[in-house]
A and B are shown apart, each in its own frame.
Chain A
């Protein structure tokens, strides 16, 4: 049970964290490709995310049975399909005729907004993996 006195600071912290993450993400995705600053920005984001998630994580005992009785083979099939399709495209040329995930993303990444969305998706995935 939370009291108004304890809920407000937590809400403030979360709101502040969201502002910081959005601002940092905007800055990190505005850095030029192949730059040291871009590399450092990604590494700092990754390191801080892992550290924050590890320090704020609750025990996962209650999640032990979350996936009981649920099959995973459809995911294995989908991931194998993605891997196989990526490899067959990667080893064929020219790239324009056989686009890989990277070459499909490249033109999309021309837009800063698209890079920002991809960065948020990347952060979300990292948060899940660090849990």
Chain B
């Protein structure tokens, strides 16, 4: 298996894990949903400021600093 394929398999695994956790949470398992997780992070003022700063950085990285 090439490095490229292996890396994509890894991305597929983490993406599947993310979807699985959200589905389990939405179906009533004792797991927080993504929405609840975000609420937990932003409940504290410092957490919210850091999260929003990170969010703005993602916006810049994806939509401005894109090599498309």
Chain A residues with a Cβ under 8 A of chain B: 28-29, 33-35, 38-39, 41-43, 45-46, 50, 60, 63, 66-67, 69-72, 74-75, 77-78, 81-82, 85, 89, 92, 96-99, 101-102, 104-107, 109-110, 115, 118-119, 122, 125-126, 128-131
Contacts and interface: CB of A to CB of B under 8 A. Distances in A.
Interface in B11-58: 11, 13-14, 17-18, 21, 24-25, 30-42, 48, 51-52, 55-56, 58
B64 A35 contact: yes
Q: Do most interface residues of chain A lie in helix, strand or loop, or is the interface mixed? A: helix
B59 A122 contact: yes
Contact of B42 (A67, A77, A131): A131
